[in-house]
Amino acid sequence: MKKALIICAAGMSSSLMAKKTTEYFKTKGQEIEVDAVSANEGSKMIENSDFDLFLVSPQTKMYFQKLKEAGDRVGKPVVNIPPQAYIPVPMGIEKLAALIAKEVE
Amino acid sequence: MNIEEVSFQIILNGGNARSLAMEAIELAKKGQFDAAEQKIEEANEAMSIAHRYQTDLVQGEARGEKVEIRILLIHAQDHLMNAMTVIDLAKEIIQVYKKVNEVQ
């Protein structure tokens, strides 16, 4: 089981995307779980958690550099989510799932 | 477009506007004022897109269409107001950096 964490401003829109993407992986039979957290807990989560991948939502890309540095310290990937992969419709969910699957391979 | 999608469009474009305004301040800090003004323009464009989604909702309600009120939508409007404030202040901060630059 692989685990990915989406980081956004308040952890709200990311919770919705995480839930829908986790469900999508379930239906596809892929063992990947997605969770969400707010930006002010982002660095802490990167440095002390068992997630394999961290994703930064498009509206919080201004924090990307700081989060990326935290990722580099622990040798874990931190990637930006493109806007078209951050919409809670089937097409957006598929794009996000594809991005996550590629990164955790 | 359902309320979730509209909320996300407001969050994405509002958040983008805020990020661009912050980038504008960074550029002004380095003395790159033309580039900073350019970023403010881009921030305004992103803001317009976000705003259009909200205006559609407001006008829809005024026409008597029922809008489903979700925490997500309220959250999206927080993003929007936040972005507006950051853009307004970024414009002022750029002016301050310009003045500082002249004095130096």
What confidence tens digit (pLDDT) does each residue in B17-42 have? 999 999 999 999 999 999 999 999 99
Taking CB atoms and an 8 Å cut-off, how many pairs form between chains A and B?
45
In three-state secondary structure terms, B1 is coil
pLDDT at A76 over 90: yes
Whole-number mean pLDDT of chain B? 95
Residue pLDDT, tens place only, A3-62: 999 999 999 999 999 999 999 999 999 999 999 999 999 999 999 999 999 999 999 989
Query: In this complex, do A59 and B71 lie within 8 Å of one another by their Cβ atoms?
Result: no
Q: What is the pLDDT of residue B104?
A: 83
Written as one letter, the residue type at A77 is: P
Contact A15, A65 (CB under 8 A): no
Residue numbers in A near B23 (CB within 8 A): 62
Whole-model pTM? 0.90
| Three-class DSSP labels, chain A | CEEEEEEECCCCHHHHHHHHHHHHHHHHCCCEEEEEEEHHHHHHHHHCCCCCEEEECHHHHHHHHHHHHHHHHHCCCEEECCHHHCCCCHHHHHHHHHHHHHHHC
Is residue B1's pLDDT more than 90? Answer: no
Q: Which residues of A are catalytic?
A: 8
Chain A residue numbers with beta carbons less than 8 Å from the beta carbon of B7 are 13
Question: Is B56 marked as a binding-site residue?
Answer: no
Smallest Cβ distance to B72: which of A12, A60, A83?
Answer: A12
Q: Is the pLDDT of residue A105 over 90?
A: no
Q: Do B75 and A87 touch (CB under 8 A)?
A: no
Query: Mind telling me how many Å the CA of B16 is from chain A's nearest CA?
Result: 5
